[in-house]
Amino acid sequence: MMATRERQFDGATLLRSRDDVPSEHERALLEIAAAQTRRSQRATAMLAAAGESLPDARWYGMIVTSQREIAVDNVLHGAGFSHWAPVEKVKQRVHLPSGKTISRLVDRAVITGYVFVRARWTGEACNALMGLTGVIGMVGGKLNPVAIGEAELVGMKGFFALPPKQRQRQIAKARALKSGDGVIIEHENFEGLRGVVVAAPDGDTAWVLAQLFGRQVRISLPVANLEKAR
């Protein structure tokens, strides 16, 4: 009886003769699997060396291919990084082989094409993060990416935590405001204070010039807390 041995091949166990030689196709698949394993191990080691917990770690925006946001976010989570990629539950229609159609809830990225990560931006961090499958760039460029302030990130999280319809209303409100518009502030710290928009809203915030403590000051406020004066 011919001696046999077990081999792991593309996720399956094969029984092969000791004298049997892998085909060209089999060798190609084995080489691809080995290369993927080496890249995964290298990326994991580099992520661990990126220094997310160091004092000078900052938040950055990663640019990713569409529909890869959740996958990249999961990799960062597994590597122990602070990360953020807002998702929402949406209904998806699924056609069954029986001909029936059912609906199921699935996760969908709220911000298409972006995932945010906190890291110390070094050569190791750059190579590790840019080496993740689906990552195609950094906001501001990979050599000198733009750091995102904690306050700005908190504002973004608050905005994208709103229900979709409320986000749309806030966006419409921001578009309606322009430089020179008089506004009434509805923020808890400046309730009822009047001011003037000095810079058109950038996203969900606007700069307002107001009289405070006997002098004029510029205040950055969420658009949701500004009501156009009539």
pLDDT in tens, 80-138: 888 999 888 888 888 888 888 888 888 888 888 999 999 888 887 888 888 888 999 99
Map out the domains of the chain with their CATH numbers: 48-161 (3.30.70.940), 170-228 (2.30.30.30)
Continuous H helices in 79-230: 123-130, 150-160, 164-176
Which pLDDT tens digit goes with each residue over 68-80?
A: 999 999 988 888 8
For residue 33, pLDDT beyond 70: no
For residue 64, pLDDT beyond 90: yes
End-to-end alpha-carbon separation of the chain, Å? 95
More confident residue, 138 or 45: 138
Tokens of 217: 């000051």
Question: What pLDDT band is residue 62 in, cutting at 50, 70 and 90?
Answer: very high
Tally of CB atoms within 10 A around 45? 11
pLDDT for 151:
79
Tokens of 177: 């405001």
**Span of 31-40, 54-63, 133-142 with lowest mean pLDDT:** 31-40
Sequence letter at residue 157 = K
For residue 187, pLDDT beyond 50: yes
Taking the whole predicted model, whether its pTM rises above 0.85 is answered as no
CA dihedral 221, 225, 227, 228 (to 10 degrees): 20
Assign 209 to helix, strand or coil: strand
pLDDT for 42:
57
For residue 226, pLDDT beyond 70: yes
Which residue shows structure tokens 């689906």?
A: 134
CA dist 23 and 44 (Å) reads 32
pLDDT for 114:
92
More confident residue, 19 or 146: 146
Average pLDDT of the chain is: 76
